[in-house]
Each structure stands twice: as structure tokens, then as C-alpha cells.
Amino acid sequence: IIGEELLNGANEDVNGPLINYFLLNQGCRSKVMQTCSDEIDDIIDSLNRFPDDIKVIITSGGLGKTRDDCTMQAISKWSGQDL
């Protein structure tokens, strides 16, 4: 879950619990849930902390058009894949 507004208390994370609820109802178990800031290096650090046996990573946040929405760029840099 990506967003400075979640870390500073300005907004409550509703996406994480909702995604987790949906996954549980589909028979999937969440192993890790993290929140990080809207900084490319922080997103990459969070992605690097996932255990090696994680098969799927779902991100939420940081996908809009404002300056701080850099999730796609961070994932591109982390994965070595172009946008």
C-alpha cells in the first residue's frame, strides 16, 4: 500500500483490508502487507523485503497523475522492465 498520506495519518488505508478480504474470499492467503511512502527508493526497498517465495505482489496507490505518484516507475526500476 503506497501513500505518504497513509503514513502521516491524513487518510486511513481502506484498500489493504478490502484487497485482503477479497483474496480470502477467493481462497487466497495474504502473507505480507506493507505500507510505504511515495518515494521510488522506498517503494523499491519495500518490494525487496518480500520473501523469495511470494508469487504475486499487489500494489495500491501512487498511480495517479500527481508528482508523487511514482509506483509504476519504481516497479519498472525494481523489475528491470520498461514501462
- The 10 Å Cβ neighbour count of residue 79 is 11
pLDDT for position 61: 84
pLDDT for position 83: 85
CA separation, residue 55 to residues 51, 68, 73 (Å): 9, 27, 21
Give me the residue label for grid cell 506493507. 34
Q: What is the pLDDT of residues 11-22, one digit of tens each?
A: 999 999 999 999
* SS3 annotation, 6-67: HHCCCCCCCHHHHHHHHHHHCCCCCCCCCCECCCHHHHHHHHHCCCCCCCCCCCCCCCCCCC
pLDDT class for 65, splitting at 50, 70, 90? confident
